[in-house]
Amino acid sequence: MDTPRARTISPLGERELITLMALLMSLQAFGIDAMLPALGQMAGEMGAGGNDRQLVIGAYFLGAGIGAFFPGAFADRFGRRPVLAFGLVAYFVLSLACALVSDFWLLVGIRLVQGIACAGLSVVPAAIVRDHVGGDRMARLMSLIMMIFLLVPILAPAVGQGIMMVAGWRAIFVAMAVMAVLVGSWAWLRLPESLAEENRQEINIATILRNMGRALANRGAIGYVIGSALVFGSLFGFLNSSQQLIGEAFGMGDYFALVFGGAVLGMVAANFTNSRIVERFGARRVSHTALFGFILVAGLLYLSASQQPQRLWEFMVLIGLAMAMLGFVGANFSSIAMQPFYQIAGAASSAHTALRMSTGAVLGSFIGYLYDGTAQPLALAMLLCGLAALAVVLFSEGGRLFRRKQSALAD
């Protein structure tokens, strides 16, 4: 049943809550995408060769996946605000540490630790939203959050490139620290605690494992968690290799930020569209349709990449369409997976995010390391990941797609 608490958004108001959640999550995106134009210069200055430069991105992804196991349990016990505060402080301190190092492998190590320590910035916002709303309304709010969040991957490479031109790549890490102070101040002053007192969970290994086990053992949820891990693993593969693919293979180094931003723009448009239609058609119908669209576009991208030299405009159109399909998949899959877990939203968000991010990070790094100077390995990986995602979603849905289910707000 709905609870009175679940019927309201927050004293902030819906718009401010959406914007703040998006900005908290965007710190993670900025810490990845602002690095992309700098990878070549960073690797050259510190003597990293070949595809090793991708580890600056891959280590952060992997750390975020490993770290996501922990903040949800603490957020379910002590509240959402303390966990966010820890993540923001860690983001600030470790960003400055990255700005000071001169050894490439030490930088990779710090990035791994930073991903672990800051994982709460990805986990807690979804739990806060679930504290207030459920069902297709949660999918709508998550789509609006993702729409704002995705402006960062569009703008961050241009910001990173601009910072490099003025002050060098180390200043990008300083900019990350400044952003943590600004967003953290807003959250500290305006964000109320959303964890209901009756939903606080004890901190002990048995409770944590039991709650996470519930979140991962639910058949209706697990297919959507693994499915999103697979399709977003292919996205991570694109992020890892994008500087080499766009900047070097297509010879667009000077226009990398513009080309990369154009590729991601489809995700923004998709999330905006999703926020307008998901309550009418249902998260399952929209996301299942998008998953089939992703598989189709990935197949076309593979055919295009097989014709060498591939034309840039073909790549841009197809990768943009693939990103758009992921825009419909992401928020909806996440919302569907969270529906059964109102009372343990933090632990569920942790378990889901950890599995999604760690699987996606390993898969993305593997795909990135397959880079051979063309988009062919990426396209094939996207196609295979899409087909595998369809298989696990079919498992969760008992073999029947496009059904609309009414989800209760409470567990």
241-276 residue pLDDT tens: 888 888 888 888 778 888 888 887 888 888 788 878
Burial class (CB in 10 A: 0-12, 13-18, 19+), 186: middle
CA dihedral 187, 38, 331, 92 (to 10 degrees): -20
Of these ranges, 4-18, 193-207, 320-334, the one predicted with the greatest mean pLDDT is 320-334
pLDDT at res. 11: 67
Confidence of residue 362 (pLDDT cuts 50, 70, 90): confident
Q: Are 262 and 301 in contact (CB under 8 A)?
A: no
Model confidence over 60-94: pLDDT tens digits? 988 988 888 888 778 888 888 999 999 999 999 99
- Please report which confidence band the pLDDT of residue 2 belongs to, taking 50, 70 and 90 as the band edges: very low
Radius of gyration of the chain (CA): 20
Assess whether pLDDT exceeds 90 at residue 299: yes
Q: What is the mean pLDDT of residues 22-51?
A: 86
What does 184-248 look like in DSSP terms, one character per residue? HHHHHHHPPP---GGG----SHHHHHHHHHHHHH-HHHHHHHHHHHHHHHHHHHHHHHHIIIIII
pTM for the complete prediction? 0.73
d(CA 163, CA 173): 10
Q: Is the pLDDT of residue 408 over 50?
A: no
Residue 1 confidence (pLDDT):
34
- Give the DSSP letter string of 366-395: HHHHT--SSSHHHHHHHHHHHHHHHHHHHH
Map tokens 């990986």 to a residue: 381
pLDDT score of 146 more than 90: no
HSE-CB at 177 with a 13 A cutoff on CA atoms is 14
pLDDT number for residue 405: 66
Q: Token match 């709650």: residue?
A: 211
Q: Is the pLDDT of residue 4 over 70?
A: no
The residue that leads in pLDDT, 230 or 344, is 230
Q: Kindly tell me if the per-residue pLDDT of 210 is higher than 60.
A: yes
Q: Which domains does the chain have, with CATH numbers?
A: 9-194+204-396 (1.20.1250.20)
Asked if residue 238 lies in contact with residue 305, where contact means CB atoms within 8 angstroms, the answer is no
Residue % of the chain over a pLDDT of 70:
94
Query: Using CA atoms, how far apart are residues 363 and 385, in angstroms rounded to an integer?
Result: 10
**pLDDT over threshold 70, residue 406:** no
Q: Is the pLDDT of residue 333 over 70?
A: yes
**Is residue 403 within 8 Å of 284, Cβ to Cβ?**
yes
More confident residue, 52 or 349: 52
In this predicted structure, the answer to whether residue 361 has a pLDDT above a threshold of 60 is yes
Q: What is the pLDDT of residue 321?
A: 93
On the question of pLDDT at 411 being above 60, the answer is no
Mean pLDDT, the chain, whole residue set: 85
HEC letters along 91-151: HHHHHHHHHHCCCHHHHHHHHHHHHHHCCHHHHHHHHHHHHHCCHHHHHHHHHHHHHHHCH
In sequence order, the 6+-apart residues with CB closer than 8 A to the CB of 172 are 34, 35, 38, 160, 163, 164
Residue 409 pLDDT exceeds 90? no
Q: How far apart are CA 211 and CA 73, in angstroms?
A: 9
Q: Taking the alpha carbons of 238, 361, 73, 135 in that order, is the dihedral positive or negative?
A: positive
What is the per-residue burial (b if ≥16 Cβ within 10 Å, else e) of 194-217? bbeeebebeeeeebbeebbebbbe
